[in-house]
Structure 1
């Protein structure tokens, strides 16, 4: 993949990320240092969220950026990938064209990710990755144009990528618990997924015919590691139909302010045995696609697959 094919990957920054950043920032001795730590924290948390969506293990609190003394003494934004090393998540302000590398991040890093903020700090764009061993030890800045797509980062963790779909399918999402406000990691409210107000409103309107829905959750589905495709959002709305059944609506939406889904994406409903019950394929002008609403008894299981034909991610559910 060339730089011209760089993935336009935007990560929303929710209230939790800002609360952590504020907590770190107010402990600093000067406003300038507080602002630095605020942005560093948001950058690290955004990359952490991306890994979490992909079910790739990272250790958020083990880095220097989460250590009170080290974050006060140094300009660090590192995220620990267990058994791999430290990834530096460098913040990039709106309009900036380079990544600044302070001396303290030039050692003990596998590489650097550029994290560019929006003006309102409500989302970031992951600009790309560069390996530590490909830049000069004397480098203080890296032009954004020199960054490689994020796919290159995952050369360091091939086992995680190889088992991405498998790991996702092994996590059984318990829909019954959603009625008790108990949600598995990565299933979030729409406002935490869609950074654009208009996109969030459109997603809400698209499920408005399912007016009885008592719970709506969304998850980012990212096929980009393998095929360079844009991330999409899987939305599930559920409601109680009877004492033994729930009714379910499932949709697939574009992300990052994209108007249309990529062409030829398949959204598939399977029973646990693998038999396909429903399948819908996106066209070039589809704002979203959805399965026909269906009902299931408590205790029953089903699978949802998102596939481009070359690579498939499966989500497993129990009612």
Structure 2
């Protein structure tokens, strides 16, 4: 199967990604080297961000691409996966039909990911994956059409390394900690997930008109790797209501530039014991679905369950 036969993974490049890229690029005296490092940094950060959403550990600081001297001396875009190895994230600009592997990245890699940028560098696509190549030539050209789907990366991960289960999340998200700016890695600011925030689209000016200080976070639910379906975004907003109560709003959105969710995507609010409290089902022309706003007491738990065909994921929360 070539990369043209599978859904490409799209990642929005937010302020944090460009902040790293600018910081590393301005250290260079030559503009061409600065541009190379800028694109390499964006490519690495896009893959890091995507794997973070899948609860797969990465170590940016241990990568050569994050090392001040090594990124100057070499053309590297590696991302360290602890206990697994180095994944090379090669940038692809619009119009390019292959990725080039410089000599310094031809060894000590578990594989290569092609990362293509949009014209304005605000979005990246993970076009596909190829395993380690062995070639004595000075460089290697890998045509994009020969890439495998990104999910083939998991075939390179040893059985001794536990992969996360995408069907359920065993960690309860503590919502009260959000007011203290304490967030789980997979719950990100809306701008990192959506790029720009349209209040009319998200209807999240505040969770409750009478309250200020609301907090909103979003999590990417990826279904392409195992079920061939488009990623979705679960969005949760909270605001203090009474002394020991929170008001909570939950929405489900399509990922990236997709306009509609599609039909029969289900989202349920379940009690801690699994009782179905409320449910909403998408129609073909829904650009998002939303549970009715609800309130909960401090210490109370609940679950949000999302289903799309054979795929079901449950997120556990505590107030």
- When normalised by structure 1's length, the TM-score is 0.90
2:8 matched to 1:8?
A: yes
CA RMSD of aligned residues (A): 2.3
Tell me what 1:71 maps to. Answer: 71
1:206 Cα offset (Å): 6.7
1: CA distance between counterparts of 2:292 and 2:241? Answer: 16
Secondary structure at the aligned position of 1:184 is classed as coil
Aligned to 2:202: 204
Alignment-derived partner of residue 264 in structure 1: 264
Query: 2:279: which partner in 1?
Result: 279
User: For 1:306, what is the secondary structure of its paired residue?
Assistant: strand
Aligned 8 A contact 1:47 1:89 in 2? yes
1:117-159 per-residue CA deviation (whole Å, 9 max, x = no partner) reads 12221221111111125x7554621121111111111222375
Asked if the contact 2:175/2:318 (under 8 Å) is kept, the reply is yes
Change (3 A) 1:267 1:85: same
Q: Which ranges of structure 2 fall in alignment gaps of 5 or more residues?
A: none
C-alpha distance in structure 1 between counterparts of 2:233 and 2:127, whole Å: 20
Identify the residue that residue 29 of structure 2 maps to in structure 1. 29
In 2, are the aligned partners of 1:100 and 1:141 still within 8 Å (CA)?
yes
The superposition leaves residues 49-104 of structure 1 with CA deviations (integer Å, 9 ceiling, x where unpaired) of 00111111111111211122211111010111122211100011122221111111
Q: Paired residue for 2:188?
A: 188
How is 1:1-319 mapped onto 2 (pairs within 5 angstroms)?
3-133=3-133, 138=137, 140-157=140-157, 160-161=162-163, 163-166=165-168, 169-195=169-195, 197=196, 200-205=198-203, 210-211=208-209, 212=211, 214-319=214-319
Q: Is contact 2:54-2:164 (8 Å) kept?
A: no
Q: How far apart in 1 are the matches of 2:135 and 2:262? A: 38
Indicate conservation of the 8 Å contact 2:2/2:145, yes or no: no
1:215 shift after superposition: 1.9
**Which deviates the most, 276-285 or 31-40?**
276-285
Q: Which runs of 5+ in 1 are unaligned?
A: none
**1: CA distance between counterparts of 2:8 and 2:265?**
18
* Per-residue Cα deviation, 1:254-307 (whole angstroms, up to 9, x for no partner): 111101113332212222222222222223222111112111101111111222
Q: How many angstroms apart in 2 are the aligned matches of 1:56 and 1:67?
A: 22
Residues 241-250 or 153-162, more deviating = 153-162
Aligned-partner Cα distance in 1 for 2:246–2:317: 13
> Are the counterparts in 2 of residues 177 and 183 from structure 1 also a CA contact under 8 Å?
yes
CA spacing shift, 1:69–1:208, aligned 2, 3 Å: closer
* Alpha-carbon spacing, 1:103–1:182, altered in 2? closer, same or farther (3 Å): same
Q: CA deviation at 1:184?
A: 2.4
**137-146 vs 100-109, which deviates more?**
137-146
Distance in 2, matches of 1:161 and 1:282, equals 30
State how far apart, in whole Å, the 2-side matches of 1:179 and 1:162 are.
28
Kindly state the Cα deviation for residue 3 of structure 1 after the two structures are TM-superposed: 3.4
Per-residue deviation, 1:172: 2.0
Across the two proteins, how many residue pairs are aligned to each other? 314
Helix, strand or coil for the counterpart of 2:286?
Answer: coil
Q: Please give the per-residue CA displacement for 1:4-47, whole angstroms capped at 9, x wherever unaligned.
A: 44223221222222222222222223111111111111110110
Higher helix share: 1
Conserved in 2, the CA contact under 8 Å of 1:8 and 1:230?
no
Distance 1:210 1:136 in 2: 61
